[in-house]
Amino acid sequence: MMRQAALMTAVVLLCACGGGGSSATAQVAVAPATPTAPSSALPAGGKPAGWNLAWSDEFDVDGLPDAAKWDYDTANNKAGWFNHELQYYARGRLENSRVSGGKLIIAARKEALATMADYGGQQYTSARLVTRGKASWTYAFIEVRAKLPCGLGTWPAIWMLGTKGGWPVDGEIDIMEHVGHKPAEILGSIYTGAQNWPKGTPNTAATTVADACGAFHNYQLTWSAERVVVGVDDRNYIQLLNPKDGDYQKWPFSSPQYLLLNLAIGGDLGGVVDDAGLPQQMEVEYVRVYQP
């Protein structure tokens, strides 16, 4: 979620959930983002017929997340995370990431881990789980069933990054992004080298999920050689079509991507934090990856 605080006439475009992009921000005047090729109808949502389960985590063993499937991204703790985010991402700490009762729980807390070698002065802790180095996919239907936090300052995300390591050229797909001060709004985004916040050409859309914080919903990505589509509960709302002109800047999605799950705090999109409302948590019932 190298994200943008989008869908406004004058917005702060950012490199959000903090992938591998720049931490700079820019004031850019843009029109509300619309999907590429808006005249092309969105396909029906849900798992495509004939696609089979290729990878999953059902979170059925209590304790830390399965180390065979998940790693932690802590690389920017010392320097500080992108978009002025306020969290320290902890590695292998039950207080911030644990499996309990059939669910993965990513928890943000008001605390300072000042004794950690990579401590960067943060007054909040959380976790950022990645499949990088464990699993990545090219073309897939990915479904993550999750319940989101709604405390002010929370910024959970479910998203994908390219494995080649170059953002935004290698692409980014935001399957779900949410902030506590807009509790019913879900954002989906698809970024390429040609469509990203530095160029002022983002591809972002919003949809309403009235009880996103009170109930579990299925956040979905349908990714084929033809298009990338993001939806929720079998209802698609944003897509990017493959222009099939061989331009990697426009279509990097013929190469693998890995999955990220995180809960950021504050920052340019998360906004003011309500300390009294912490801890807050994102709960995930499962992650399932199907391929053709």
159-188 confidence digits (pLDDT tens): 999 998 788 899 999 999 999 999 999 999
Q: How far is CA 192 from the centre of its chain?
A: 15
Q: List, for residues 233-292, the tens digit of each pLDDT value.
A: 999 999 999 999 999 999 999 999 999 999 999 999 999 999 999 999 999 999 999 999
Instruction: Give pLDDT, residue 198.
Output: 76
The parent domain of residue 92 ranges over 4-291
Inter-residue contact 227 to 242 (CB < 8 Å) = yes
In sequence order, which residues have a C-beta less than 8 Å from that of residue 223 and are 6 or more positions away? 139, 140, 141, 142, 173, 229, 253
SS3 of residue 198 by DSSP: helix
Q: Is 47 exposed, middle or buried (0-12, 13-18, 19+ CB in 10 A)?
A: middle
Cα 106 to Cα 75, 173, 175, 234, 283: the distances in Å are 18, 20, 17, 25, 7
| Global pTM exceeds 0.85 | yes
**Is residue 200 scored above 90 in pLDDT?**
no
Q: List, for residues 23-65, the tens digit of each pLDDT value.
A: 332 222 223 334 444 447 999 999 999 999 999 999 999 999 9
Instruction: Give pLDDT, residue 53.
Output: 98
Q: Structurally, how many domains does the chain consist of?
A: 1
State the CATH number of the domain containing residue 162: 2.60.120.200
Instruction: Give pLDDT, residue 2.
Output: 54
Q: List, for residues 6-33, the tens digit of each pLDDT value.
A: 333 223 333 444 433 333 322 222 233 3
**Is residue 4 scored above 90 in pLDDT?**
no
Nearest to 103 by CA among 135, 146, 136: 146
Active centre residues (catalytic): 172, 177
- 3-state DSSP of 116-130: CCCCCCCCEEECEEE
Q: Any idea of the CA torsion for 87, 91, 92, 94, to the nearest 10 degrees?
A: -10
